Amino acid sequence: MTEILDTRTTDPKRLIPGSVDDWEVIIGLEVHAQVKSRAKLFSGASTEFGAEPNHNVSLVDAAMPGMLPVINEECIAQAVRTGLGLNAQINLRSVFDRKNYFYPDLPQGYQISQFKDPIVGEGAITISVGPDKNGDFEDIEIGIERLHLEQDAGKSMHDQHPTMSFVDLNRTGVALMEIVSRPDIRSADEAKAYVNKLRTIVRYLGTCDGNMDKGSMRADVNVSVRRPGEPFGTRCEIKNVNSIRFVGQAIEAEARRQIAILEAGGTIDQETRLYDPAKGETRSMRSKEDAHDYRYFPDPDLLPLEFSQAYVDSLKSDLPELPDAKKERFVSQMGLSAYDAAVLVADKPIADYFEQVAEGRDGKTAANWVINNLLGKLNETGSDLEASPVSPAQIGSIIDLIDNGTISGKIAKDLFEIIWEEGGDPADVVEQRGMKQVTDTGAIEAAVDEVIAANPDQVEKAKEKPKLAGWFVGQVMKASGGKANPQTVQELVKTKLGIEE
């Protein structure tokens, strides 16, 4: 198949220390992403999650004799869109093969997959890892080897009856995209960033919902270790890892296991393993099978899949703006830092929310409000954006109230809390609760005079040490319940104390 290129050298700071040597960990991921489509890859049965067992099973899925697969065009379009989103080669001709094996949840006795000629060839994903000690992020390109379409299997259920196992074929025949990376990944953090980025991309594209907790995305994690400069070592494949956190943990556990064996003079057996999150270790499942064990051959029930470049181009012209392009635009056109832009684009609904707040306003201010106040509050209360009681229009109006001098930044934070709890139009709330900033110089002057008169000792000190003027500003602000215009207070305090700028 594809040649395995050994193109990356690991930054020494990412090496894993063994008892004698430092080790480099080499990782390649095979991610199974369930295609978002109403019907299965080769049948019209529904793909709905959580239906009664064996409710969504057609005669094709149950492999009744004489049934013929019919390809679902929407699944093809989704695979092409995903390939385009990965900047990958789209193959105008691909072939469906039978991968033969027996399992009770696979009534056909083979899985229809793509072997030699996948629908999508080489591509790449850019991940950002960091921050390092200086707060910097590094962009790394991870090669994609291929993306192919295949059928999912059903599910055996061993815990429903004391002496029998059951099988649920609802998932049988649902379309999966297997997205295979090159062995370009060099640490658990990079692997987590890769899965995260891949999930963000398919969610933007709408080609997979990316919900790992429902099994719509799962990763097979290939891990090997070597001393820097050596050729690739033997890899083990950890199957079906179903969360990003576990991807990281499985890699670390597996790398430690392999390093211990090699340092003790042993060798690594090529194996398929499982990660046990409760024990924090991987354990052997079976020795690794080779491709020829499956006796792949082109499925005689299906013609090779062929489509035109014009078809690909039309799908391409309908793609949404993807996270990298959005991030670039947020930085270059809206003046955001790379970090803030990355936070916002990581989740499309958040990016959309931010853009609504930023409409006609300063981008940086809008980003601050969304990241620090909104996301901060969502985080604190453990809620999702969809459940946010505060709308983009409400945040926008709070920002406008600061901008036009109606409220101070400090009062704005209180206002946000009130809107979060009670809702309402921010401008009305400010009016009704008397939260308006006091810009009336006369009133502020009186307050400044009062504080100065009450603290003669501080006045003497401040005259020698102008920095202490800040203390007076604080006192006046406090006395005004945060409503005095801080700039006016500052100016008046300085004038009254006779401090030069």
Element (H, E) at 274: strand 271-276
Q: What number of other Cβ atoms are within 10 A of residue 488's Cβ?
A: 19
CA angle 81, 178, 4 (to 5 degrees): 105
We find the least distance from the C-beta atom of residue 98 to ligand ADP, in angstroms, to be: 16
We find the least distance from the C-beta atom of residue 27 to ligand ADP, in angstroms, to be: 6
**Structure token digits, residue 277:** 């999150």
Residue 176 binds which of ligand ADP, Mg ion, none (CB < 5-8 A, kind-dependent): none
Out of 15, 27, 412, 429, the residue judged to bind ligand ADP by CB under 6 A = 27
**Structure token digits, residue 44:** 């019209």
What is d(CA 415, CA 433) in angstroms, rounded to the nearest whole number? 10
Closest CA to 391 of 399, 402, 403: 399
Name the strands in the sheet holding 110-113, side by side, starting at the edge strand that comes first in the sequence: 110-113, 97-100, 297-298
Q: Beta partners for 219?
A: 31, 241
Residue 210 contacts ligand ADP per CB under 6 A = no
We find the least distance from the C-beta atom of residue 147 to ligand ADP, in angstroms, to be: 11
Where residue 92 falls (left for φ over 0; alpha for ψ -120 to 50; beta otherwise) is alpha
**Which region, judged by CB under 6 A, interacts with ligand ADP, from 112-120, 231-239, 347-355, 396-404?**
231-239
What is d(CA 217, CA 442) in angstroms, rounded to the nearest whole number? 64
**Which region, judged by CB under 6 A, interacts with ligand ADP, from 81-89, 218-226, 355-363, 364-372?**
218-226
Residue 235 binds which of ligand ADP, Mg ion, none (CB < 5-8 A, kind-dependent): ligand ADP
Residue 114 contacts ligand ADP per CB under 6 A = no
Secondary structure of 317-361 as H, E, C letters: HCCCCCHHHHHHHHHHCCCCCHHHHHHHHCCHHHHHHHHHHHCCC
Q: Which is nearer to ligand ADP, 144 or 374 (CB)?
A: 144
Q: Which is nearer to Mg ion, 150 or 347 (CB)?
A: 150
Residue 27 binds which of ligand ADP, Mg ion, none (CB < 5-8 A, kind-dependent): ligand ADP
Residue 235 contacts ligand ADP per CB under 6 A = yes
Residue 294 contacts ligand ADP per CB under 6 A = no
Count interface residues toward Mg ion (CB under 5 A): 1
Q: Which is nearer to ligand ADP, 197 or 235 (CB)?
A: 235
Closest CA to 302 of 96, 59, 64: 96
Q: Which is nearer to ligand ADP, 238 or 401 (CB)?
A: 238
- Are the C-beta atoms of 384 and 401 separated by less than 8 Å? no
Closest CA to 179 of 114, 225, 126: 114
Tell me the per-residue interface mask from 6 to 45 with Mg ion, x by CB under 5 A, - otherwise: ------------------------x---------------
We find the least distance from the C-beta atom of residue 182 to ligand ADP, in angstroms, to be: 5
Residue 28 contacts ligand ADP per CB under 6 A = yes
We find the least distance from the C-beta atom of residue 149 to ligand ADP, in angstroms, to be: 14
What is d(CA 34, CA 215) in angstroms, rounded to the nearest whole number? 8
Pairing status of strand 271-276 against strand 236-241: parallel
Residue 232 contacts ligand ADP per CB under 6 A = yes
Closest-by-Cβ residue to Mg ion is: 30
We find the least distance from the C-beta atom of residue 202 to ligand ADP, in angstroms, to be: 17
Residue 70 binds which of ligand ADP, Mg ion, none (CB < 5-8 A, kind-dependent): none
| Residue at token pair 């916002």 | 344
We find the least distance from the C-beta atom of residue 335 to Mg ion, in angstroms, to be: 44
- Are the C-beta atoms of 162 and 132 separated by less than 8 Å? no
Residue 180 contacts ligand ADP per CB under 6 A = yes
Residue 142 contacts ligand ADP per CB under 6 A = no
Out of 15, 29, 147, 336, the residue judged to bind ligand ADP by CB under 6 A = 29
**Structure token digits, residue 200:** 């963000």
What is d(CA 317, CA 223) in angstroms, rounded to the nearest whole number? 38
We find the least distance from the C-beta atom of residue 272 to Mg ion, in angstroms, to be: 9
Burial level of 51, CB count in 10 A (0-12/13-18/19+)?
Answer: middle
Residue 258 contacts ligand ADP per CB under 6 A = no
What is d(CA 370, CA 392) in angstroms, rounded to the nearest whole number? 9
Out of 37, 181, 480, 488, the residue judged to bind ligand ADP by CB under 6 A = 181
Residue 26 contacts ligand ADP per CB under 6 A = yes
We find the least distance from the C-beta atom of residue 107 to ligand ADP, in angstroms, to be: 23
- Are the C-beta atoms of 409 and 437 separated by less than 8 Å? no
Q: At residue 36, what is the residue type?
A: K
Enumerate binding residues for Mg ion (CB under 5 A).
30
Enumerate binding residues for ligand ADP (CB under 6 A).
1, 4, 26-30, 180-183, 222-224, 232, 235, 237
